[in-house]
């Protein structure tokens, strides 16, 4: 019996020693990549990560971005300026090194084999993210309830930036009184409401979120706006102008061409289609596994190449406008609002959710800051439509 206990103790000590050696190896590997971009583990700079649990290293090594995000959610590490930490990490291409891990490879393989954004799966996004609760978004966003990048060219605050974005889209679409406008992925009705109020157009907005539909209907009451709970693939009719703001990220590579075909069929020959979407600096099939698991199920960020290739059979690209750095500022404003309002809603959510949401907002801000992510606005018109030269406003 004594010998059995001694053997078990020796085995546990051996396993612990082996684990400690592995953690030390991972830590040294990280330190070697952190140093060139001014990051120090447990350092005194606001972007230095503070590691509270040494198991973090093994979790990061085994699970990549999912391990990094979940260990943060679990309180294994902290960082005051997560946004700047990720700006530096992504600039050092540490994400590329971690993408060799199984979690990312598995997600890419699944994305290539399956259509993660088919019509049935598309509703998962509405249920998982946009139905989280209108109270959260009403406190985090500005009064327009626009959940997309603001336009900060002449704006001093978030509300001004969102109004500027909405008006910019209206001007790019050359909206005229009485036109029929389709708002694909209308959210809480920010564009639909603004366009109907200020440009006297009739708007049909579609969303796959019940929470969004309900609030959008309330916000647009009394206006010529029809908010429908519908996927773009099941819509019929013809519209003068098409608008898609912050929705194309949920379409997926396997559906890009079908999406453009649907837009082509829904738009009149002389129409204009304004597409506003987050963009990736490189073409890829999937997205970050942590974002996929916790924030946007089945999402995918398109590259400009992927967008243009899907457009080729249907549209001429009249204008491309990239103001990606404005999303960094937008996200940091949302994070500030969320932080300031947390006391009002903390009884509805867990501490783990609080950490998850901060991690989401700040790490995405860092990705825009280092220009891994872009914000594209494209103006599209039908091929062979023989329309006059297009001049885009800024």
pLDDT in tens, 35-70: 999 999 999 999 999 999 999 999 998 999 999 999
pLDDT at 385: 75
What H or E segment, with its residue span, contains residue 276? strand 267-280
Residue 149 bears catalytic tag: no
- If one counts every other C-beta atom within 10 angstroms of the C-beta of residue 349, the result is 16
What predicted TM-score, i.e. pTM, was given to this entire model? 0.88
**pLDDT over 60 (residue 127):** no
Q: Active-site residue among 79, 220, 364, 370?
A: 364
Q: What is the pLDDT of residue 316?
A: 97
- Which residue ranges make up each domain of the chain? 2-112, 119-382
Helices (H), 185-317: 190-199, 210-219, 256-266, 289-294, 304-311
| Tokens matching residue 161 | 């930036």
Q: Taking a C-beta distance cutoff of 8 angstroms, is the pair 289, 268 a contact? A: no
Residue 233 · residue 123 · CB < 8 Å: no
3 state DSSP class of 385: coil
pLDDT for residue 105: 42
Is-contact 195 201, C-beta < 8 A?
A: yes
Of 105-114, 260-269, 295-304, 355-364, the one with minimum mean pLDDT is 105-114
Q: CATH homologous superfamily of domain 119-382?
A: Vaccinia Virus protein VP39 (3.40.50.150)
Using a 10 angstrom Cβ sphere, with 0-12 exposed, 13-18 middle and 19 or more buried, the burial of residue 388 is exposed
What is the structure's pLDDT at 36? 94
**Placement of tokens 């059979």 in the chain:** 313
- The pLDDT of residue 103 is 46
Query: What integer pLDDT is reported at residue 301 of this predicted model?
Result: 95
Using alpha carbons, list the distances in angstroms from residue 167 to 151, 164, 382: 10, 5, 23
Structure token pair of residue 311: 């457009």
CB-based contact 166:246 (threshold 8 Å): no
3-state secondary structure of 251: coil
What strands, in cross-sheet order, belong to the sheet with 180-184? Answer: 225-229, 202-207, 180-184, 239-245, 267-280, 373-382, 315-322
The length of the chain is 394
pLDDT (tens digit per residue) in 98-109:
654 444 444 444
Higher pLDDT, 113 or 279: 279
**CA 54 to each of CA 22, 25, 34, 71: distance values in angstroms, whole numbers, following the listed order:** 11, 12, 17, 11
How high is the mean pLDDT of the chain? Answer: 90
Q: Are 363 and 289 in contact (CB under 8 A)?
A: no
Q: How confident is the model at residue 168 (pLDDT cuts 50, 70, 90)?
A: very high
> Which pLDDT tens digit goes with each residue over 17-42?
666 777 889 999 999 999 999 999 99
């Amino acid at each position: 019996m004594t010998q059995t206990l001694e053997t078990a103790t020796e085995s546990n000590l051996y396993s612990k020693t082996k684990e400690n050696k592995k953690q030390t190896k991972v830590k040294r590997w990280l330190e070697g990549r952190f140093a060139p971009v001014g990051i120090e583990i447990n350092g005194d700079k606001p972007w230095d990560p503070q590691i509270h649990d040494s198991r973090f290293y093994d979790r990061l090594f085994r699970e990549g971005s999912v391990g990094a995000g979940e260990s943060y959610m679990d309180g294994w590490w902290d960082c005051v300026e997560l946004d700047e930490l990720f700006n530096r990490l992504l600039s050092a291409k540490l994400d590329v090194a971690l993408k060799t891990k199984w979690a990312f490879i598995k997600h890419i393989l699944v994305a290539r084999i399956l259509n993660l954004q088919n019509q049935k799966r598309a509703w998962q996004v509405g249920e998982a993210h946009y139905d989280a609760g209108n109270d959260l978004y009403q406190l985090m966003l500005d009064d327009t309830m626009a959940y997309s990048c603001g336009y900060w060219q002449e704006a001093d605050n978030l509300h001004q930036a969102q109004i500027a974005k909405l008006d910019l889209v209206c001007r790019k679409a050359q909206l005229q009184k009485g036109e029929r406008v389709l708002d694909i992925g209308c959210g809480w009705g920010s564009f639909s409401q603004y366009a109907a109020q200020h440009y006297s157009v009739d708007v049909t907005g579609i969303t796959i979120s019940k929470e969004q539909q309900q609030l959008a209907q309330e916000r647009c009451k009394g206006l010529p706006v029809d908010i429908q709970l519908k996927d773009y693939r099941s819509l019929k009719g013809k519209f003068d102008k098409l608008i898609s703001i912050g929705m194309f990220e949920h379409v997926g590579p396997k559906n890009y061409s079908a999406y453009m075909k649907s837009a082509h069929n829904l738009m009149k020959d002389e129409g204009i289609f304004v597409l506003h979407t987050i963009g990736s600096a490189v073409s890829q099939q999937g997205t970050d596994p942590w974002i996929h698991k916790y924030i946007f199920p089945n999402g995918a960020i398109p590259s400009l190449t992927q967008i243009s290739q899907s457009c080729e059979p249907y549209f001429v690209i009249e204008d491309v406008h990239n103001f990606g750095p404005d999303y960094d500022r937008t996200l940091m404003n949302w994070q500030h609002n969320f932080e300031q309002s947390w006391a009002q809603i903390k009884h509805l959510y867990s501490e783990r959710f609080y950490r998850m949401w901060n991690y989401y907002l700040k790490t995405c801000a860092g990705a825009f800051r280092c220009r891994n992510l872009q914000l594209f606005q494209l103006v599209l018109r039908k091929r062979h439509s023989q329309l006059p030269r297009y001049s885009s406003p800024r």
